[in-house]
Structure 1
């Protein structure tokens, strides 16, 4: 069982006596605060904070982090407040403890919401001080080590949360030692039988492998000495439990195939020696094509640096070799906690690893601000926590790290949210590239923007980064709200005209009385509800007229002018596919709950029964400046001859229109029919397209299809 004296002896190697005494003072305070409390194992509760402090001491964390480890459960489990803790131990320690503490004073719908809210709180604290997440990881590690006495369902829930959130965070921050242990412990808690089976298999083959490992190790040592690298150290690496399981599952390989690969690590004194060692390895064994990665020149997103190569050894066996310096090795194992030199007055000069971590956390905050809920936030974070990176270049040669499968839209949002929002196209390696096609490492990407552009809902189907997803959803939600409010105001004004009311003449008191009656928080919400079809403008206007005139029998008598569509309401207007209206067509809007207005042509057969229903149908007109692309279907009767389809397509293109779809069928031996959907701006544009097509000598007849 750990003791405070044993911890104090360990701390003497890097902390001053004064700081060690502060840590001991925090321990004695926590011991008194948790007096009488027990863990599930029936041990005194103080064992847990002391163990957490020991994990941090192993990483050589500063005295404030160790004090926070001692006190991290005090705010949750005792009556002590943050203010009282700040007076006792200082604001730095109180902020750390507060960042790690859960939101115990709130009630949540379920455990999922509780986890999401607590993580969101911690992410915001991490932005102020990176040590928050290190204390939390140490706390989670000890909790995972002591899962034993808990119920199986609680074990699985905690282990799954660890696999989903905390192990990936440890990996993102480069703290490999903690990440590996968290994964192994979680795996054993979720799949105990599988973990025991793989562990037993590893133990069984370990003896058989030892001779081969020693043989390869000796050969590598000898070759490194020949390259004057006698100071380089060679270690055999053993894959950990969870990574073996993952590879078996993902690659659909049996255990023996995974264990057929031997892994080694070479640690040198300098970067130059790393590349010399790589030459030594490749001169001893043949390298496998496309299995070399230089993470020294281009570090991973978490700061990891190393040379990776796979070579073919004796009897065709594959040997994976990692080559790195001593500093890189420490960074690979401890990440941002390696050589932690946190100083209260030196926060403007973080290490590169800390700076990289802060950039990631600032990205989390941007996602958090745009997310609609803590659940959505944590879903976006999960996406960003599993990056199998690719490295692409900006036009100026700057390297950008993106997850595997990232598209140009993800790249645009990684550069800046405004660049993503105004993206219209891209050049990849100086060639035009589809926005939905994934990028590859080494690609040079240039984003083409336009001031009038805005995100497309379809982008959500292919973007992979949390930042891109949250930014697109935030924009669409914001613009959707504004558009529904605008069209709702117009619809309500028109409906009020039928009751001879002027929307601008209604007083604030009258509006408030209506809002109270309808139980709607604000006038903006009322307009949005009408625009979205959640409330009928006619019914709202009638209720308002009854209140204004103090008459429950008010009926519509006036006639309002048609509502004008400007084309800026694209996100909440739906154009009926049955009749495909375009600007210039006489139109009617049908109010559909949850969809807003669905625009039909006045002569559409599908609305014949409700065309005169003033509660559901609104007479509309197109604004003179109506813009955008609309779809019209043409039926073209042509003489069957070679090249006729190409000539029709060329005529449509010459009329500044695009073909959306085309279908051609033979009517008889000499005549064929072409059904083509074209993009047009209005009826004038459509007439111009039809005129161009009609002029072709092989065209017999062309007309618009009206269903």
Structure 2
């Protein structure tokens, strides 16, 4: 242990709790009762030293040593009451991503539990995605899968995100806004779902700071200006209530004021369309008692001292929130005539409200000092299981992200089964949502519903306290109309899944027809059986090509997405094609425009398109088909005058030097009404589908290009080869045409060839 303390870096400021751990290990432990505590401390210290050594020499954008970040994350987890494995994971959460260490190395040094936590938090940074949305969706798919095995994964991730949000000042504005939006959309709602209030409000305020900086500063200013007066009023109310509680014989642990956080005030202003001076309940009074029974007695005292506001009472003790939050909420008129919110709870309820799931850590001893987190199988983790079920149901990245956001933001409405079991649903839910919440088969065979003993339309929204009974028949099945009124993502997905399964053959046929129209009938069956198409299915998150066709026919995935994946894989499988004559860079940009004459030309000095052959018979070489704007050279021939080649033409290699004459294009020649054109040949590789040649010819026609001839060669499961002979004015026009054709989604490659190579 002395070695660990000796290796402790003295160039960084360590928090006191970590110094204490390191110091503890520097002394001998003689009491066997301290063995487990010593082992826990040893795990924490070894993780810190390992992280420090790996991150040594790395710095954050702020310039501070990188180790500050994992130390801060571990500290946040410690404050939440996290286990030694969680704190160790806080130290190690970035080492797999930022160093050469693997998760296998983590397991060999720190055990399977720490490995699972670190692996769950690690981003998919080494995988390239086609869009930010796709990458983001895959990150969350992996994270929620890890959460299903150990809910503590998301708590480590929240601590990581919170410290990153605290230190974002040095990042670019675009990065700050992107991270802040993700924090508001995903991480703050996750903290709320887990009941970790202290994380939730700070994440929301920090996101508010970067997304609406002006409004944030205004909120800060308004709240600061009235802080002293607000604190005085809350102290007066606290003293009044404390006196009355003592008189009523209620053991009151604490009565204190709690200011609302800035984003909460801003949201209320936006929701109610009010100015800051119209928002009265900027703070709440919190009463902490010892038992549930005293909560209700304290409520009676509070309503006796202050006048209650009708409709503002909520009993979250009898009906806890889905994140296990419990309190009595009520609104009263304060002595200064303004509304005041009050919360009454026990000390245990307060601990749960502040720490959420962290207050419910359940460990089971597996021998020695090893402890394992139980899997999230109880009622409070229903939303986690729903997110996992959508991993297979929702293939589209954007739809998956939208479902996550909608589910995390859901408010709850509480209803009962006929047997008295409590069911929590999102606000706006109907009896169909209730049916699918009970079981998928109940929803699939739902034929009607009774609420409080009365038949109601299935689209009727449920209210708190409703008793719901579902009538089912085997002959009933879901209706697509239900998608217009169900509120929960789970119900929507179950309805869609039923239609996909029940009409699978029809969907496969429709998907096959859609794809065949694009890829063509020739060799289509071989294409479907090819390895490339199987790779397309995997890239689109399907297990087989048939599943892909069914998803395409149902509309679960789009034809454009499938074709894009197909093109990407075909291109990756094609060897690079070297052009016979590459277009060299940095050539003259101006080109002459002259009247065209067929065959050989006798050049005249006044209007010759080529300088250096005035008065001589010349013609353009068919092997390289030069065009204005390219560097050229003349070759004296026997009986045919001068042949004009492009410089670098392969046929010039064996020409005697004394037969070469320097020539150039006449860049000063004036434009004529009918500019001269020059024949060249191009070859195009394209996906073999019906109409691809027509689309290419249409694109050329739009550009005013004359096509002299065209031919297509096709081979099963291979790209089509299209040879075109076109007439071009100059190099500039040729480059423009290449750009236009390359923009077509079906084009794999385009190159220029000589006429003698066709």
What range describes the TM-score normalised by the shorter chain of this pair?
0.5 to 0.7
Task: Give runs of aligned pairs for residues 277-676 of structure 1, distance below 5 A.
Answer: 277-338=298-359, 340-343=361-364, 345=366, 355-485=378-508, 513=526, 515=528, 524=546
- Other-structure match for 1:36: 57
- Written as runs of structure 1 = structure 2, the 5 A alignment for 1:42-441 is 42-260=63-281, 262-338=283-359, 340-343=361-364, 345=366, 355-441=378-464
For 1:41 and 1:304, the matched residues in 2 are separated by: 38
> Once the 2 structures are TM-superposed, how far is the Cα of residue 118 of structure 1 from its aligned partner?
0.4
Per-residue CA shift, 1:327-370, capped at 9, x if unaligned? 00000000010163534539999899983443332222122232
Looking at structure 2, the residues matched to 184 and 328 of structure 1 have their Cα atoms a distance apart, in angstroms, of 24
Shift of 1:105: 2.3
Deviation of the 1:478 alpha carbon = 3.2
Calculate the TM-score normalised by the size of structure 2. 0.64
Residues 590-629 of structure 1, C-alpha deviations (whole Å, 9 max, x = no match): xxxxxxxxxxxxxxxxxxxxxxxxxxxxxxxxxxxxxxxx
- Runs of 5+ unmatched residues, structure 1: 491-509, 536-707
Instruction: Encode CA deviations 1:410-434: one digit per residue, 9 max, x unaligned.
Output: 1111111222222222111111111
Residues 261, 523 of structure 1: alpha-carbon distance in 2 compared, 3 angstrom cutoff? closer
Q: Highest Rg: 1 or 2?
A: 2
* C-alpha spacing 1:285/1:368, structure 2 compared with 1 (3 Å): same
**Cα deviation code 1:192-233 (max 9, x no counterpart):** 121111111101011222332222111111111111125342
1:18 corresponds to = 39
1:261/1:318 contact within 8 Å kept: no
Task: Identify unmatched segments of 5+ residues in structure 2.
Answer: 1-11, 25-33, 514-522, 535-543, 560-758
- Which piece of structure 1 moves more, 116-125 or 337-346? 337-346
**1:290 match: secondary structure:** coil
Structure 1: distance between partners of 2:146 and 2:228: 48
Contact 1:408 1:426 in 2 (8 A): yes
SS state at 2:312 partner: strand
Paired residue total: 518
* Maintained 8 Å contact 1:2/1:50: no
Greater shift after overlay, 415-424 or 188-197? 415-424
Residue of structure 2 aligned with 1:7, choices 2, 7, 18: 18
Provide Cα deviations, 1:24-67, integer angstroms capped at 9, x if missing partner.
11111111112221111111111111110000010111111111
Are the counterparts in 2 of residues 391 and 441 from structure 1 also a CA contact under 8 Å? yes
> Structure 1 residues 147, 407: CA separation in 2 closer, same or farther (over 3 Å shift)?
same
Q: Quick one: distance in 1 between partners of 2:425 and 2:95?
A: 40
Summarize the Cα distance change of 1:15–1:335 in structure 2 as closer, same or farther, 3 Å threshold.
Answer: farther
* Alpha-carbon distance between aligned partners in 2 of 1:329 and 1:374, rounded to the nearest angstrom: 38
Alpha-carbon distance, 1:530 to partner: 12
- Contact 1:271–1:324 at 8 Å: present in 2 too? yes
The CA distance in 1 between the partners of 2:447 and 2:362, in whole Å, is 45
Matches of 1:86 and 1:454 in 2, distance apart? 49
Distance 1:259 1:85, change over 3 A: same
Q: Could you say if the C-alpha distance between residues 345 and 258 of structure 1 is closer, same or farther in structure 2, counting changes exceeding 3 Å?
A: farther
Partners of 1:209 and 1:96 in 2: CA distance: 43
